[in-house]
Amino acid sequence: MNDTAPVLSVVIPVYNEEEVLPTLFERLYPALDALGRPYEVLFVNDGSRDGSVALLKDQFRRRPAETRVILLQVNFGQHAAILAAFARARGAYLITLDADLQNPPEEVGKLLRELEAGHDYVGTWRANRQDLWWRRIASQFVNLIRERMTPIKMTDHGCMLRGYARSVIDAINATRENVTFIPALASLYAANPTEIEVKHDERAAGASKYSLYRLIRLTFDLMTGFSTVPLQAFSLAGLVLSMLSGALVVYLLGRRLVLGPEVDGVFTLFAIVFFFLGIALFGIGLLGEYIGRIYVQVRQRPRYIIGAVLEQTPHVPAAGTNGIERRAP
């Protein structure tokens, strides 16, 4: 299958996953072999500092016909890493998967069936999700807000086991956003999307690569990257609050004229002032989120920098994606 394009490209971002990679290889390749379709697996090393690179190189030597390894210079984040593979995938269909075996490789066939049935995007939700309780609750909350604030309709935006057909892959490759959330983009570009339920396991080994801070950043990418409703909601809230405080001024002025000077309620006043101050600061922060995105976008720095690609037949990446490739001489 070396020169003919594979039907399926499986994309796996890898960031310090030396503990799970051997088990992943053991389960992934038999599961894909069993599908009976020509396939390629694209591993993207997202700047790992552990033994992941050595393991990926070994695997490339073992299965060179089906394996391609993209080595990024440093850590660019999961979504940028996946984009590097989007630009290089040759398959008619592309399925993304996490390296930590939380998405069982045996589920890939289920997604491929939907793609072959004509769906250009296959979303997923996780049956009895195996994550920490606070992450489950936080993500339910974010799902709720996202449903109301953005045009993106999906049951569970956290699961990265997803399928994309060529038309959607090309549309994503043509997108020039520096910060993005791939499944959300795909759900906007798809003409005939579907959603299915997939199994979810506990991480096979190692620890999650997302700190609370990185999860919050990702949530902001999702909210401010796909909607300006937060800004509009904020100006609306500002309008209502200034009308209310205007009414309060008139009322207090009236009391001053009728009852004379009063000092009661000074602390209530403090509370009210601090409350408004909090809202004002939040508003400035919210503006900052949007301005920050514009700033990142106008700088036009590459979304990722590739140090080397291990592949049997060199493949020219899709034009348009703003990543940089530095091939080893």
- Find the shortest distance in angstroms from Cβ 77 to ligand UDP: 5
Answer for which of 208, 228, 297, 300 binds ligand UDP (CB under 6 A) is 208
Helix (H) or strand (E) holding 142: helix 133-149
- Total of residues contacting ligand UDP (CB under 6 A): 17
Using rule CB under 5 A, residue 100 touches Mg ion: yes
User: Segment contacting Mg ion (CB under 5 A): 93-101, 120-128, 188-196, 296-304?
Assistant: 93-101
What is the separation, in whole angstroms, between the first and last Cα of the chain? 27
Using rule CB under 6 A, residue 81 touches ligand UDP: yes
Q: What single-letter DSSP state applies at residue 171?
A: H
User: Segment contacting ligand UDP (CB under 6 A): 12-20, 114-122, 250-258, 280-288?
Assistant: 12-20
**What is the spatial distance between Cα 149 and Cα 136, in angstroms, rounded to a whole number?**
20
Using rule CB under 6 A, residue 209 touches ligand UDP: yes
- Find the shortest distance in angstroms from Cβ 210 to Mg ion: 8
Using rule CB under 6 A, residue 210 touches ligand UDP: yes
- Find the shortest distance in angstroms from Cβ 209 to ligand UDP: 3
Nearer to ligand UDP, 68 or 203 (CB): 203
Nearer to ligand UDP, 24 or 169 (CB): 24
The order of strands in the sheet holding 121-126 is 193-198, 121-126, 162-165, 93-96, 8-14, 39-45, 67-72, 305-310, 324-325
Question: Helix 108-116 crosses helix 21-33 at what angle (to 10 degrees)?
Answer: 40
User: Segment contacting ligand UDP (CB under 6 A): 83-91, 98-106, 220-228, 291-299?
Assistant: 98-106
- Please, which residues have CB within 8 angstroms of residue 100's CB and are 6 or more apart in sequence? 17, 20, 24, 203, 204, 205, 206
User: Segment contacting ligand UDP (CB under 6 A): 21-29, 77-85, 181-189, 242-250?
Assistant: 77-85
Q: What single-letter DSSP state applies at residue 100?
A: T
**What is the spatial distance between Cα 121 and Cα 7, in angstroms, rounded to a whole number?**
15
Nearer to Mg ion, 125 or 290 (CB): 125
Answer for which of 16, 48, 59, 102 binds Mg ion (CB under 5 A) is 102
- Please, which residues have CB within 8 angstroms of residue 322's CB and are 6 or more apart in sequence? 176, 178, 300, 302, 303
Q: Which among ligand UDP, Mg ion, none contacts residue 9 (Cβ within 5 to 8 A by kind)?
A: none
Answer for which of 75, 167, 175, 312 binds ligand UDP (CB under 6 A) is 75
Answer for which of 13, 163, 193, 317 binds ligand UDP (CB under 6 A) is 13
Using rule CB under 6 A, residue 15 touches ligand UDP: yes
At residue 244, what is the residue type?
L
Q: Which among ligand UDP, Mg ion, none contacts residue 123 (Cβ within 5 to 8 A by kind)?
A: none
Q: Hey, CA dihedral for 139, 145, 147, 150, is it positive or negative?
A: negative
Under a CB-based contact definition with an 8 Å cutoff, are residues 7 and 32 in contact? no
Using rule CB under 6 A, residue 46 touches ligand UDP: yes
Answer for which of 78, 124, 187, 227 binds ligand UDP (CB under 6 A) is 78
Structure-block tokens of residue 53: 């690179």
**What is the spatial distance between Cα 141 and Cα 128, in angstroms, rounded to a whole number?**
17
Give the binding site for ligand UDP (CB under 6 A): 13-15, 17, 46, 75, 77-78, 81, 98-100, 102, 203, 208-210
